[in-house]
Chains A and B, each alone.
Chain A
Amino acid sequence: MSSEQEQESIRCLVAKVGLDGHDRGAHVIARAFRDAGFEVIYSGLHKAPEEIVQAAVQEDVDVLGISILSGAHDTLVPKIMDGLEEYGAKEDTLVLAGGVIPDEDRDELKELGVAEIFGPGTSIEETIEFVRENAPER
């Protein structure tokens, strides 16, 4: 525990955006990330895209995990990506999406810059592994 050594920790924002009122899954992810040794900031429910962008920029997170169950990902995710770009944060933030996202919408999200989409049934280990491997080097 030398105090001079680097103390890098993967920082994640677990974000609930839009109107869906169910965040059990987000809690489970937050807890699992914590147990994996990440620093997790949870946004709380019903956040607007600009609030998520503000939090992601100020907290300088490596990973932004967006959970959407309401089907509004087509409108909400682009707004978040634009906001990140505005602050120069899009390039080095690993953006993940999770929740209920139909297969046919996935390509579109990936084109926007979402790195991976984790649907229902994804194992937590898989998600953590993905974050460990893909968290941006800064």
Chain B
Amino acid sequence: MNAEHEPLLEDLLAGKHRALARVISKIENRSPGYRDLVSELYAHTGAADVIGITGSPGAGKSTLVDKLAETYRDRGETVGVIAIDPSSPFTGGAVLGDRIRMASTVGDMDVFVRSMSARGTLGGLSTATADAVKAMDAFGKDKIIIETVGAGQNEIDIVRTADTVAVLVPPGSGDDIQTLKAGILEIADVFVVNKADRPGADRTVQELRDMIHLGEGPGMGGDAGHHGADAMDAGGADWGDDGDAIEDWTPPIVETVATKGEGVEAFIDDLAAHQQYLVDSGTRAEMTRQRYAEEIRTLLREDVHAMLESRIEDEGGIDDLAEGVRTGETDPYTIASDLLEPVEACLDDLDVDGT
């Protein structure tokens, strides 16, 4: 590890907030040597419970996270929060506004709130988030809460860093067909109907309940879906079997009014019950393994991606290649296989040497 990082790591492990903040910056910036730093963190992790909070924009995620942090603090536990906000696709700039709502715990350094922006790259955010979680875990936080941007497929990647995923569903967020759609609702370990004092909350709870029971029904679509996912997994080994791994867990639905702190205790009990379930069922070990598998894959993908980008530069840049396709000289498939040919050749050579 580089000499500058060693005291930083020591300070982080000694509980210095400034060091934790600086390490997370290095992770976000991908500063030279940050990987060695993160490697060193792994030996000190594993004690924290990681909770992911997601849901559509305006569902009340920040306010709920604030109350959650406050309640954990009342119970004597330390809390780390990673709040993710979108960044501009044009300038890369961002206004990170979640911190404003974390008002219940200001002045209490044992709630460490860190805002992160998406900074645009493929897979980069989920890696940075996972690494920042490692830093908070090594620092000694008991609970780490990841609050995601809002809707979208990318969210699903990020919350996979968490042991327990809570999905916020505000009242009146669409008819019951919305609950049948694939995506964000499938990843929930706990459902939170926030703003439960608003009209339509009862209906939303009922629709979620119907959806959950539909998924449990014997021989119904839900079951077949799981098997279908399994079959694909055998070949492609992916995260598709998330629901399957914890098939005995039925996501509870909790109603909260985050602005008033109502239902927060019940929510915490549900989160704790899920954590307990993960341990009791042996699912936690399996999940951790899957998570590391995914981290390895993401890292490899990023590295290969970076190598290919520089290869594209060597070939005159992506614009030239694209122009070739536009003018009919070649096509994307040919370009891809041409660019990858030397990589394939190298890997084949390695195989031969290995056996």
**Which residues from 122 to 136 on chain A have a C-beta closer than 8 Å to any C-beta of chain B?**
none
A4-29 interface bits toward B, Cβ cutoff 8 Å, 1 = contact, 0 = none: 11111101000000000000000000
CB-CB < 8 A to A4: which residues of B?
30, 302-303, 306
**Which residues from 91 to 141 on chain B have a C-beta closer than 8 Å to any C-beta of chain A?**
91-97, 99-100, 103, 106-107, 109, 112-115, 117, 119-124
**Which residues from 21 to 79 on chain A have a C-beta closer than 8 Å to any C-beta of chain B?**
30-31, 33-44, 47-48, 50-51, 54-55, 57-60
B53 interfacial contact with A, CB 8 Å: no
Alpha-carbon distance A55/B39, docked complex (angstroms): 27
Give B167 Cβ to nearest chain A Cβ, in Å.
26
Known contacts A40-B94, A50-B107; decide if A87 and B29 are in contact (CB<8 Å): no
A-B residue pair count with CB separations less than 8 angstroms: 121
Q: Is the CB of B94 within 8 A of A34?
A: yes
Q: Is the CB of B310 within 8 A of A35?
A: no
Alpha-carbon distance A129/B305, docked complex (angstroms): 34
Q: Is the CB of A54 within 8 A of B107?
A: yes
**B-side interface residues, number (CB < 8 Å):** 43
Alpha-carbon distance A37/B122, docked complex (angstroms): 19
Known contacts A7-B30, A54-B107; decide if A42 and B95 are in contact (CB<8 Å): yes
Beta-carbon nearest neighbor of B100 in chain A: A44
CB-CB < 8 A to A42: which residues of B?
95-97, 99-100
CB-CB < 8 A to A36: which residues of B?
91, 93
A89 interfacial contact with B, CB 8 Å: yes
Q: Is the CB of A6 within 8 A of B30?
A: yes
Q: Is the CB of B310 within 8 A of A59?
A: no
Known contacts A34-B88, A39-B87, A54-B106; decide if A3 and B115 are in contact (CB<8 Å): no
B278 interfacial contact with A, CB 8 Å: no
Known contacts A2-B310, A5-B30, A7-B124; decide if A55 and B17 are in contact (CB<8 Å): no
Alpha-carbon distance A6/B179, docked complex (angstroms): 40
CB-CB < 8 A to B120: which residues of A?
1
Q: Is the CB of B109 within 8 A of A54?
A: yes
Beta-carbon nearest neighbor of A41 in chain B: B96
Which residues on B are within 8 Å of A, measured CB to CB?
17-18, 21-22, 24-25, 28-32, 87-88, 91-97, 99-100, 103, 106-107, 109, 112-115, 117, 119-124, 302-303, 305-306, 309-310
Closest 5 CB pairs of A and B: A60-B21, A34-B93, A44-B100, A3-B302, A4-B306
Which residues on A are within 8 Å of B, measured CB to CB?
1-9, 11, 30-31, 33-44, 47-48, 50-51, 54-55, 57-60, 87-89, 138
